[in-house]
Amino acid sequence: MDDVIRDIFVIVITLAAWIATTSADHEYMVNIPENVILPVDFETQLACEMNIRPDKFVWKFYPFSEKDIYNSKAVIDLNNAPFVLINPDHTEDRKSTLNVKVQDTQKRVAGDYQCLAYYGASVIASVPSRITIATLGNFTKIGERRVDVLPGNTVLWKCELPYSNQDPYVDFFKDWKYLEPTELFSNANVLVLENVTNTDSGIYRCGASSATVHKKMSLESLNLKVSSYAAMQEPYFLIEPPRNYTVAKGSSVFLECAAIGNPVPRVFWYKHNGQLPQHRTVLMNGGLKINNITIHDGGVYVCNHTNHYGTISHRITLIYYEEPLAECYLNTTEVKQNDKLDLECKVTGFPEPQIAWFLNGYSVKNDSAIEAIGNKIYVNPVEKRHAGNLQCFATNSLKTVYCGISIRVIPISTSADFPPAPTNHRHGGKKPSRKPPRPMKLPKMVPPNKPTVTRLDDQAVVVRWSVGSNTGLPIMFFKVQYRELGPFQHNDHHRSKPSRWKTCNEDIAPHIRSYEVTNLKPDHVYRFRIAAVYSNNDNKLSNNSDKFHLRKMDFDIDDKPTVPLITHTEPVNTTAVKIYWKCNPRPNNTIDGYYLSFMSASRAGDYTRVSVDGERTNSFILPYLQADTVYDIKLQSFNSKGASDYSQTMKVKTLAIPTTEAPSVLGPTAASAESDAGVGNLYILIAVGVIGGGAVLIGIAVLIGCRKWKQMKNSESDRHKPSVEEQHHIQADGNEYVVSPRTLSRTNGCVLPTNRITITPNPLADTENKKFLARIFSRLKT
């Protein structure tokens, strides 16, 4: 009986290990790399964590040159930069850490640190973390400047800051009294005095500090006198505004340009060879603020200040920067040994990123069989050593990203690769044919319905979809894909060759049924489709949308829908709120529905949009929120021509989760009773466990007894039983997919074209498993 129980336990453990192995996903980095600026004598700890425990960790250190140890924006060429291998200070399960300390006599710790995770011969390299030495120079400008201005002018002043590789904190003082920061000079490190009066007269100074360096005071000052008897004067700049700004995509910028004069000058802004960004510019005293920078905002901006005595102009160049993005057209590929392999990754960003190809954690530049040219790589011939993880790294001054491709090399077959087929004849008898078991019916994957598309503006649309009655597998998230068919031409029905399908990076929650697609081309034609990813990690596509022409609207004839008005909001429970609004559309201006945008007020990010159909709808319950959280809510109406401007933004807070505290009981009697009750409950649990375990053992014994009795009765049929090897043969077939749900986010939104995957079992590993299971089954028979 003990042997039988031990055998059953071994089978259960083996099956559990097999399930855990086969269900594991590809390996990937869990944590985000750090960029740390350290002062002398400070220490930090770099961490590297994987989703699956590797065999070992190793760190690669790319040291900075002496001139770059303070430069946090330095770009390292991963293809050619020298590196040193370092063993981690501590490794525990899936995580590795490395301690780094900056010493005054040894500043060579500055540089990039890349973590390597080894899985046998396959290696994954992380995006490098960076360490630079903190520095804050000294103020160099000395002296006091006296200025007399007329009341009503806007005075903009800032001190000349010392060099720092950290964003400095700038404080301003008036007559040595600290000035509370305003929105302007806390963001742009400038002092803006709007509509000055006599009370603003005084001496102004500034000081600078950083997160790791103490405050230093400037030796320059501004002696400001506000007087109604100031002399008449044409506009002039107290401080010449900057001429260049470098701004990253999605950020905001304040273009400084303030002139003083008598009379107070008026200011006009315009963009050279273009228009000012619509709905994203704010004219402020002291300059122009542009929010949510896009690629179209780059260019030259001009500010003009004029009064009766003259005009002064200033040109400002806005340089657009964009973080790199690497997209792999494949996630996994198979290739036969000695064949050719050509791969490509799509890389975007500005400045143009440097590209480095890594195979199993190291640059491919020294591999004679590999030629890497920009975003393309050619392997000829493919050898066994080329199996593993291929990574395409893209780096510019803003960031480093990568996408990865798993390469499987199918070796050339030889006779030694195939073990001899075992014979299973007993007494010359033939094996009777046995009907294969009927496969288990899998739950269906119900695909999304064909999406509908609505114009949002000249470069954006909203895609909406629905899912029928889904009684099959649950949906984990959605992906939106779109395809450009070419420019709209009245006399040509889009004969130009369409582009590839592109996949939007964001994983859309399963309860969301709409998504905004931006950065499209006006007067172009597109198709859209929705991919649903299910709990089995497979996916299914909706039908393609109808052709959609994104029209460019003329602002003179643009007839946008009426802007709705949010009347009030209220919490429903801990995860839902209700929004009420009203909207009175103009005649001949219908409304098809509303876009409700929401975002947590405590977090930075993009708004999430849900669609509400129906012109007469005036309320909506917004579910799937976080408890005790404040949300910003805004609303748009839409029709077939486009969407209205946003309504006012309202705040609403979900209810907090109620807390219940157990009543406290004082005194030894109560405590003793509680203890006795706990012991009693423990005994009950032990008794139930013993009785349940005994019942299970009795059941197993009965089953084994029945099995032996049946074997004795049907000994002849037992001799013709199929071999163990035949029972455990794995028949693998391919399955078709479009989007890989788990690897897509870790490879920066890889766009996966349709391809087929065939799973081929390892014959050597299969043979070992068969032998092991055969021994176990032979024990069970005896």
Q: Which CATH architecture has domain 565-653?
A: Sandwich (2.60)
CB atoms within 10 A of CB 9: 10
Residue 21 pLDDT > 50, yes or no? no
Contacts of 475 (CB under 8 A, 6+ apart): 467, 510, 532, 533, 534, 535
757, two tokens: 């995957």
Report the half-sphere exposure of 688 (CA within 13 A, side-chain side).
6
pLDDT at 615: 80
- Express each pLDDT in 505-533 by its tens digit: 888 988 888 899 999 998 899 999 999 99
Cα–Cα distance for residue pair 504/493, rounded to 1 Å: 27
**pLDDT grade, residue 118 (50/70/90)?**
very high
| H/E run at residue 317 | strand 310-328
- Can you give the pLDDT at residue 743? 39
Confidence class for position 288, pLDDT limits 50, 70, 90: very high
With residue 458 as reference, give the H or E element that holds it.
none
Q: Does domain 135-230 have CATH number 3.10.105.10?
A: no
Would you state the CATH architecture of domain 452-550? Sandwich (2.60)
Q: Which amino acid is at 12?
A: V
Percent of the chain with pLDDT over 70: 72
Alpha-carbon distance of 93 to 75, in angstroms, equals: 32
What is the pLDDT, as a whole number, of residue 414? 52
- Residue 30 clears pLDDT 70, i.e. is over it: yes
- pLDDT tens readout for residues 86-102: 999 999 888 999 998 88
| pLDDT at 133 exceeding the cut of 60 | yes
Place of tokens 């010449």: 240
pLDDT band at 774 (very low <50, low <70, confident <90, very high): low
Q: How far apart are CA 749 and CA 328, in angstroms?
A: 8
d(CA 381, CA 340): 5
Taking 90 as the threshold, does the pLDDT of residue 43 lie above it?
Answer: no
pLDDT tens, position by position, 227-286: 888 888 899 998 889 999 999 999 999 999 999 999 999 999 999 888 899 889 999 888
Measured from the Cβ of residue 524, the count of other Cβ atoms closer than 10 Å reads 18
Q: Please, which pLDDT band fits residue 128 given cuts at 50, 70 and 90?
A: very high
**Whole-angstrom distance, CA of residue 583 vs CA of residue 592:** 12
Q: Is the dihedral of CA 199, 205, 206, 207 positive or negative?
A: negative
Q: What is the CA radius of gyration of the chain?
A: 35
CATH superfamily entry for domain 329-412: Immunoglobulins (2.60.40.10)
The rounded distance, in Å, linking the Cα atoms of 295 and 520 is 12
The confidence score (pLDDT) of residue 737 equals 37
Mean per-residue pLDDT, 684-709: 63
pLDDT number for residue 444: 79
324 has pLDDT over 90: yes
Return the SS3 of 457.
Answer: strand
pLDDT at 702: 66
pLDDT cut 90: percent of the chain above it: 29
Place of tokens 């049907």: 714
| Average pLDDT over every residue of 410-432 | 54
Residue-level pLDDT at 738:
41
Helices of type H across 162-312: 183-188
**Which helix (H) or strand (E) is 601 found in, with range?**
none
Taking alpha carbons only, the member of 476, 475, 472 closest to residue 443 is 472
Of the listed ranges 374-388, 573-587, 690-704, 709-723, the one predicted with least confidence: 709-723
| Helix, strand, coil percentages in the chain from 3-state DSSP, rounded to 5 | 15, 40, 45
Q: Do domains 329-412 and 452-550 have the same CATH topology?
A: yes
Sheet holding 388-395: strands in order across? 332-336, 400-410, 388-395, 354-359, 362-363
Q: Tell me, what's the pLDDT at 264? A: 92
Read off the pLDDT of residues 169-213 as tens digits, 9 standing for 90 and up. Answer: 788 899 988 888 765 555 557 888 889 999 999 999 988 877 666
Residue 247 in contact with residue 169, Cβ under 8 Å?
Answer: no
CB-based contacts of 520, cutoff 8 Å, min separation 6: 459, 460, 461, 482, 484, 526, 550
- pLDDT per position as a tens digit, 423-449: 444 444 455 555 556 555 667 788 888
Mean pLDDT, rounded, of the chain: 78
Residues 35 and 129: their CA atoms lie apart, in Å, by: 6
Q: What is the CATH number of domain 231-322?
A: 2.60.40.10
Instruction: Assign 158 a pLDDT band (cuts: 50, 70, 90).
Output: confident
What length is written for the chain? 782
Token digits of residue 197: 């009066």
What is the rounded average pLDDT of the residues 697-703? 69
Does pLDDT of 32 surpass 70? yes
| pLDDT (mean) for 612-638 | 87
Predicted confidence (pLDDT) per residue in 742-770, tens digit: 334 333 334 444 433 333 444 444 444 45
Domain ranges of the chain: 2-23+724-781, 35-133, 135-230, 231-322, 329-412, 452-550, 565-653
In this prediction, residue 677 carries a pLDDT of 41
Residue 11: predicted pLDDT: 54
Quote the CA–CA distance of 702 and 145 in Å, as a whole number. 101
* Contact present, 539 and 478 (Cβ < 8 Å): no
Q: What is the mean pLDDT of residues 481-492?
A: 78
Provide φ and ψ at 380, rounded to 5°.
-155, 110
Pick the CATH number of 35-133 from 3.40.50.720, 3.30.450.60, 2.60.40.10, 1.10.8.50: 2.60.40.10
Residue that wins the pLDDT comparison between 634 and 66 = 634
Task: Report the DSSP beta bridge partners of residue 209.
Answer: 169
Token pair listed for 496: 């130009």
pLDDT of residue 302 exceeding 90, the answer is yes
